[in-house]
Chain A
Amino acid sequence: MSFLNTIVDLGKSAFSFIQGDSVGSTLLKTIASGYALNKLSNVTKSNDSSTASPGSSQQSGTGLPTLPYVDKGVREQVEANQKNRVPIVYGTAQLGGTIIDAEMSNSSQTMHYCLAICEMTGTKLSDDSASSFTFEDIYWNDQKIIFDSDGITSSYSIDRDGNRDYSIDGLVKVYCYNGDSEQGVVPQGYSGSVSDAYDVMPSWTTAHMMNDLVFAIVEVNYSREKNVSGLGTIRFHVTNSMTLPGDCLSDYMKSTTYGAGIAATEILDE
């Protein structure tokens, strides 16, 4: 029994040592709590790994149940302003567009942005035909977007050195319009049809016409893994068929929307 009594005495001594206020017991308690915290931290890190998905829950290596993964998203601020003016393009230009509407849908996983790019210009004086716009290229964060065959869904982006970035693959869609919500076009080099703008923007109706505007609707699908979490910097390379100086001057002088609004009868344009 003396053997067992010795073990019990040792246990009592160790317990009273830990319970004590001595420097040694405090050090031991600190080490023990640090170790526990370290184990807990490892469990949390394992839940943040790339295999985790929003709403999922896992069993940690310790066998303890963990809380579901919650992606808090990003705070996306929209730069809309009532004082912004829609620019006019004659010839070719690269523009970023002015945000006039933004909507979130699909349980906050999809954003639609409507960007007014420029004014639709009038009839050309030289041949009496209506001017029209062509979307040459579209750039996402200074990289040219290469679309799928539909001319809407992004496949990848390409930088100035020709390096490809597939992070936007399928996540970004660009719908282009040339005049109003029913004049959808695809960028040059693509073929396909574009749905009417009021069928793309979630809350738009046929009363949302965007009359006489060249504009685009950009659909962004959230992906934290691919770092697609907002509109980014988008630029449109557009070309107006109105390029002759006489056509441009005449159009600008006559337009009551964006020009001088001079009556045609007061201009000798022959």
Chain B
Amino acid sequence: MALDLSTYATLATALFVRIDTYDSDGLEEVITFSDYHQDLVLESTNYTGLGQLMSVTDTQSDLRITPQQISIGISGIPSANISTVFDSEIKGSKISVKRGIFDPTTGQLLSITGNPSGRFYGVVDNFSISDEVDPLSKQSSIIVVLTCSTIVGLLNRKTNGRETNPKVQKALYAGDLAMDRVPNLTNANFNFGGTG
């Protein structure tokens, strides 16, 4: 949907990232942040302003649905907080990236239809952590890069269908022994009808 912004003299945009994940205790946890320099409330949710500490690779617009990937980098995380990154069950979490347009003077989101607009919906496919050491200040910080795939990308990789083996059958239906003999039957020979 095209946004009519012709009546606004100045505009600012920011990307808002929302990750629905689980903490180390298995409880639902929502992580929200944006690349704006201050916290903003978007759709009743507060987004932590990371400013230039957050980066998002470009997305591509296609007429048809395509499997895309984006990377979201968060830098400047203190080393002491690394455990927080590991404790969170972030891999496989749902992620959405929206673009919001707002008035830079007031910092308020423009009240027009279609704002904020969706940029990317998918899941966190993988993440990587790298250290950034400053020898002068003798401090180090961490950069976390989240590699995200669209649902279409995941479906392309999905291998579906029930394999005829006991492991798969029991994973689907615990205690079902119907396929237990398949491994032993592979290339097994029966002397059918033999009376000797």
A-side residues, CB < 8 A to B, are: 54-55, 70-78, 80-88, 98-102, 104, 107-109, 111, 114, 116, 119, 181, 204-205, 207-212, 220, 222, 224, 229-230, 257-262
Cβ contacts B170-196/A at 8 Å (1 or 0 each): 001101111101110111111111111
Bound-state Cα–Cα, A226 to B189, Å? 22
For the A-B complex with A101-B182, A116-B164, A208-B178 known, give 14 more contacts whose Cβ atoms are closer than 8 Å: A73-B192, A76-B191, A77-B188, A77-B189, A82-B164, A82-B183, A86-B162, A101-B179, A101-B185, A108-B193, A208-B177, A211-B172, A211-B178, A261-B160
Cβ distance A115 to chain B, nearest Cβ, rounded Å = 10
Q: Is there contact, CB below 8 Å, between A224 and B190?
A: no
A-B contact pairs, 14 of them (CB 8 A): A76-B190, A76-B191, A81-B164, A82-B165, A84-B164, A86-B163, A98-B164, A100-B181, A102-B185, A109-B193, A208-B178, A209-B176, A222-B193, A261-B160
Determine which of B160, B177, B186 lies in contact with A259 in the assembled complex, contact meaning CB atoms within 8 Å.
Answer: B160
Bound-state Cα–Cα, A98 to B178, Å? 13
B151 part of interface (Cβ distance < 8 Å)? yes
Q: Is there contact, CB below 8 Å, between B182 and A108?
A: no
How many residues of B are in contact with the other chain, CB < 8 A? Answer: 31
Q: Is there contact, CB below 8 Å, between A73 and B164?
A: no
Determine which of B176, B177, B186 lies in contact with A81 in the assembled complex, contact meaning CB atoms within 8 Å.
Answer: B186
**Chain A binding surface, main DSSP class:** loop
Tell me which residues across on chain A come within 8 A of B190, comparing CB atoms: 75-78, 102, 104, 108, 111
Bound-state Cα–Cα, A175 to B116, Å? 59
- With A116-B164, A257-B162 given, is the CB distance from A75 to B189 under 8 Å? yes
Most chain A CB inside 10 Å of its own CB: which residue of B178, B181, B183: B178
Determine which of A70, A211, A259, A262 lies in contact with B195 in the assembled complex, contact meaning CB atoms within 8 Å.
Answer: A70
Determine which of B165, B186, B195 lies in contact with A73 in the assembled complex, contact meaning CB atoms within 8 Å.
Answer: B195
Across the two chains, which residue of chain B brings its CB closest to A197?
B178
Q: In the complex, how many residue pairs between chain A and chain B have their CB atoms under 8 Å apart?
A: 139
Bound-state Cα–Cα, A249 to B186, Å? 34
Bound-state Cα–Cα, A226 to B188, Å? 25
Across the two chains, which residue of chain A brings its CB closest to B121?
A266
Q: Is there contact, CB below 8 Å, between A72 and B164?
A: no
Across the two chains, which residue of chain B brings its CB closest to A222?
B193
Q: Is there contact, CB below 8 Å, between A73 and B193?
A: yes
B9 part of interface (Cβ distance < 8 Å)? no
Q: Is there contact, CB below 8 Å, between B162 and A211?
A: no
Q: Is there contact, CB below 8 Å, between B185 and A224?
A: no
B-side residues, CB < 8 A to A, are: 151, 155, 158, 160-165, 172-173, 175-179, 181-183, 185-196
Tell me which residues across on chain A come within 8 A of B176, comparing CB atoms: 207-211
Across the two chains, which residue of chain A brings its CB closest to B155?
A260
Most chain A CB inside 10 Å of its own CB: which residue of B155, B163, B188, B190: B190
Cβ distance A152 to chain B, nearest Cβ, rounded Å = 20
Across the two chains, which residue of chain B brings its CB closest to A73?
B194
Determine which of B163, B172, B179, B193 lies in contact with A83 in the assembled complex, contact meaning CB atoms within 8 Å.
Answer: B163
Tell me which residues across on chain A come within 8 A of B193, comparing CB atoms: 71, 73-74, 108-109, 222, 224, 229
Bound-state Cα–Cα, A121 to B58, Å? 40
- With A78-B185, A85-B164, A258-B161 given, is the CB distance from A100 to B178 under 8 Å? yes
- With A72-B194, A73-B193, A77-B188 given, is the CB distance from A211 to B173 under 8 Å? yes
Determine which of A70, A87, A207, A222 lies in contact with B192 in the assembled complex, contact meaning CB atoms within 8 Å.
Answer: A222
